[in-house]
Amino acid sequence: MAEIRDPENTIIIELKDGPVVIELLSDVAPKHVERIKELARAGKYDNVAFHRVIEGFMAQTGDVENGNMENNFNIRRAGTGGSDLPDLPAEFSNIPHDRGTLGAARSSNPNSANSQFFINFKDNHFLNRQYTVYGRVISGMENVDRITRGEPPQSPDRIIRMRVAADAPEGQQ
């Protein structure tokens, strides 16, 4: 794994193929960073499916309302929900949607991001200044590349566990 410089602003996502370490950009999108950390600390992302995974584009997950088995998982509904917290205002920046960046998924309303996010498989600059970028993969992108494709996938990959690096036991960062 990569060296973690700021454990409080780094998340670790455990996937079937291994960990993905994402450095969060708290100076660029502080509200989005606080939300993902709050939900991760509450265990809301654990067992949530990647419900929209498009080859050459991105892998989307984070529907904590409809995306996991504990909430009567239904792949047809996955991607339509968020969390029980209010939606977030857009925090657009000049950070480009490059391969490995973390973006906030939303509806057509720019201020509708909640819990869902996506990781870009390639540079997707047509999304620049339209979707909030609030992190970048610093280790484990090869594990993101192995996520099962589909809209939705027949048998979706899941976030096994997601945590803030500062909360990880010593030696598991």
Q: Decide the pairing of beta strands 117-120 and 10-15.
A: unpaired
| Environment class of 75 (CB within 10 Å of its CB; exposed 0-12, middle 13-18, buried 19+) | middle
**At a CB cut-off of 8 Å and minimum separation 6, what does 152 contact?**
49, 51, 52, 75, 76, 78, 79
Cis bond upstream, residue 152 (ω within 30): yes
Q: For residue range 45-95, list pLDDT tens digits in order.
A: 999 999 999 999 999 999 887 766 554 455 555 666 678 899 999 999 999
Q: For residue range 20-38, list pLDDT tens digits in order.
A: 999 999 999 999 999 999 9
- Give the Cα separation of 154 and 29 in Å (integer): 33
Task: Judge: domain 7-166, CATH 2.40.100.10.
Answer: yes
Q: Is the pTM of this model over 0.85?
A: yes
Nearest to 117 by CA among 129, 139, 133, 97: 133
Quote the distance between the C-alpha of residue 103 and its chain's center. Answer: 7
